[in-house]
Chains A and B, each alone.
Chain A
Amino acid sequence: MIRLQDVTKVYEGGTVAARDVNLDIQRGEFVFLVGPSGSGKSTLIRLMLRQEPITRGTIWVAGKDITALPNWKVPYLRRSIGTVFQDFKLLPNKTVAENIAFTLEVLGRPRSVVKPQVEQVLDLVGLDGKADRYPRQLSGGEQQRVSVARAFVNRPPILLADEPTGNLDPATSVGIMKLLDRINRTGTTIVMATHDHAIVDAMQRRVVAVENGAVVRDDATGRYETTMQQVIDAGSTSIPGDQPTGAPPEPSVEAAEKTEESIGSESPNVESEGEQK
C-alpha cells in the first residue's frame, strides 16, 4: 500500500530528517512509527502526504509514485489519505458536521449523500448529539474524534495519524485508539507516529522505530520498550530512562555529531512535545 525506497530528506540548513528509509506497508496493516522528538517520524508522514518536497528516493502510495506527481494532482492523492494530527486541525468557523462534510464536499458528493454519511460517521465516533457544535465548544478528546471522523468519512484506503494522542489524557487516548482500531478492522491501512509507550505496548502491532531519520527497528508485533533495550544492547553510551530512545543507533563519532546537530536545530519542538508527554 505504501512503499518507501531510499527516502532521504534534508531540510534547508542541513538537518537530515530522513536518511535512506526503506519501508513496505501492506494493505490493512496498522503500523506505529515510534521514536523521540526530532527523530523524523513526522517528516515521513509529511512526505507521504506530499507536504514536503523529497530530497532523494521514491515513495509509492496505492501503487503510484507520488514523488513524481505533478502539483495539481496532489489534491487527488490527499483525498485517498485520511489524516489525524495532534492539534486536530479542524476548521474553526465550521460546525462539527460541516467539518466532516467538507471532505465529501471536496469530492463533489451531492448533499443527499453527504448528510447520511456524516450522520453515520458521527455515530461511529460517538458524537451524534454534537453535530452543530463548533470545535471550540468541544473537549480535546471530542475534537480529535471529529478529526478522526473527518479523516474516515470518505472511507480512504489509508489513514495517517501524527501523534493523535499527543494532546490527550491517557483515558481519552484509549478511546481514540479504540476508534482507530475499529477503522483498521474495516481494512484501512493506518500509519501512526507516536511516542506514547502505553499505547504502542497495548496495541501489539507492527512497530517501526525511527532515530535520526533512519529506521532502526521493524518488529511485526513490537513493544515500544524493546526499542530502548535494543539501543542498550547495541552498545549505546546514553543514559536510559531519562530519554529512552534518544541515543544514536551506532556509537560512531559521526553519528553522535549528527545527533547533536539535529537535536540542536529542533530544540523548540523537543520542548513543546516534552510538555505533552
Chain B
Amino acid sequence: MSRIAFLMREALVNLRRNALVVVGAVLAVFISLSLAFGALVLNELVQRNTLTWQDGTHVIAWMKDADQGGLETAGQLSLMDEIQSWDEVETTRYVDKLAAFQEFELLFGERRPELVQEINPNALPTSIRIELTDIDLYRDVVFRLKENSAVLNVTSAGEQIEQLSSLSTVLNVLGLGLAVLLGVSAVILIANTIRMAIYARRDEVSIMKLVGASNWFIRVPFVLEGMIEGILGAGLAVLTVWIASQNLVSVADAIPLLTLDVPTAFFVRWGVLFLVFGALAGIIGSIVGLSRYLREADGSGASVSV
C-alpha cells in the first residue's frame, strides 16, 4: 500500500516539478484532440440536419374540395387508408381545413400577420401528408397520386432530399476521415512529447535502476504522469468544443431550418471516449518512450568508463 501511495505522490511531484514539459504535453493533446472532437461534432451536426430533413413529410397530396369535383371528407379519409396500404408508404396524416389554417398561422403569424387576418380558413385545401419508407421511391408515389381525380396537386420534397442525402454522405465521410486522421496524429504527437520528456530524464532512469528500482517501479510514475497529461488535454479539448458548440446554438437560433444543437448525450458519450483515448495515448506514449532507457540501463551495450 505504501508503495502505491509513494508512486502516486511521485507522479504528482514530478508533474509539478516538470511544469513546462507537462504544459507542452497537455497542450499537444489538447490541440490535436480539440480538432478531432470538433470534426466529430461537425459530422454529427451534418447528420442531424439532414435527418430533420429526412424525417416527416415527404409528399403532400392537396385535395380538391367537394364543390370542386373532389371527395367529401369521408371519401378523402378512405383514400388516405388506401394510400396507407401502399408498400412505399410509411405513415399518412390527414390535415383538415382547421389544421391547415393553424399551420398557416404558425408559418406566417409572426412575419406576415396581415396575411393571416385576410385569409379565410375555408379557402385552404385539405391535404394528406405522406411519409415514405424510402424517400428514393417518391417518383412512383407522386405519379400514382396525380392520376387520382380527387387530388388537386401533389408536392414533394424528393429532389431536394435526394441532393441533401448525397451531400450528407460526402460530408459524413469527410468528417469521419478528418476525425480519424486527427486522432492518429494526436497519438503520435502525444507519444512524441512524452518521449521527449523522458529523454530529458534518462539519467534519472539509470540512477533509479542503480539504486535497485525494478522496471515497473520506475515505469509507474511515468505512466501515471502520461495518463494525467492525456486526461487533462482531452478534458480541455472536450470542454472547449462543448463551449464552442453551446455558443453556436444561440447564433443558429436566428437561422431557420438549421439546428446546431448537439444533444448533451452525444457530448457525454464521446467526451468519455475521448478522455479514455487521451489516457490511453498518455499511457502507451510513456511505456514506449521508457522502454528504450530501461533496456539501456540494464547495461546492454552502454558506453563505459574503465
Q: Which residues of A contact B (CB under 8 A)?
A: 11-12, 15, 17, 37-43, 46, 49-53, 71-72, 74-79, 81, 83, 89-93, 102-103, 105-111, 150, 262, 266, 269, 273
Contacts and interface: CB of A to CB of B under 8 A. Distances in A.
B204 A92 contact: yes
A102 B217 CA distance: 11
Contacts of A15: 306
B305 A74 contact: no
A51 B206 CA distance: 10
B306 A42 contact: yes
User: Chain B CB within 10 Å — which of A12, A37, A78 has the most?
Assistant: A78
A112 to B, nearest CB: 9
B17 A102 contact: no
B3 A72 contact: no
Contacts of A41: 306
A72 B204 contact: no
Contacts of B208: 91, 102, 106
10 contacts: A38-B306, A41-B306, A51-B299, A75-B214, A77-B212, A79-B211, A110-B2, A111-B5, A266-B306, A269-B305
Interface string B196-215: 00000100100111111111
B2 A78 contact: no
B298 interface: yes
A254 B12 CA distance: 58
B14 A93 contact: yes
B300 A42 contact: no
User: Chain B CB within 10 Å — which of A41, A72, A74, A109 has the most?
Assistant: A74
Contacts of B217: 75, 106
A150 B306 CA distance: 24
Interface string B212-229: 111101000000000000
Contact of A83 (B2, B3, B210): B210
Nearest to B214: A75
B207 A52 contact: no
B213 A75 contact: yes
Given A15-B306, A269-B306, A108 B2 contact: yes
Contacts of A17: 304, 306
A78 B208 CA distance: 10
A49 to B, nearest CB: 7
B256 interface: no
B6 interface: yes
Nearest to B300: A53
A111 B2 contact: yes
A93 B17 contact: yes
Interface in B172-214: 201, 204, 207-214
Nearest to B298: A71
Contacts of A92: 204
Nearest to B211: A103
B207 A72 contact: no
| 9 closest cross-chain pairs (CB), A and B | A79-B212, A78-B212, A51-B299, A110-B2, A75-B214, A108-B3, A106-B213, A75-B212, A17-B306
A43 B302 CA distance: 12
Interface in B94-127: none
User: Chain B CB within 10 Å — which of A11, A38, A102, A269 has the most?
Assistant: A102
A120 B10 CA distance: 23
B263 interface: no
A89 B2 contact: no
A26 B213 CA distance: 27
A72 B214 contact: yes
B306 A39 contact: yes
Given A91-B204, A105-B6, A40 B212 contact: no
A81 B301 CA distance: 22
User: Chain A CB within 10 Å — which of B18, B302, B304 has the most?
Assistant: B304
A39 B305 CA distance: 10
A52 B299 CA distance: 5
B211 A50 contact: no
A267 to B, nearest CB: 11
Contacts of B215: 72, 75
A167 to B, nearest CB: 13
A249 B171 CA distance: 82
Contacts of B302: 51
Contacts of B211: 78-79, 83, 102-103, 106, 150
B301 A12 contact: yes
Given A11-B304, A269-B305, A53 B6 contact: no
B306 A78 contact: no
Contacts of B17: 93
A74 B3 CA distance: 19
Contacts of A110: 2
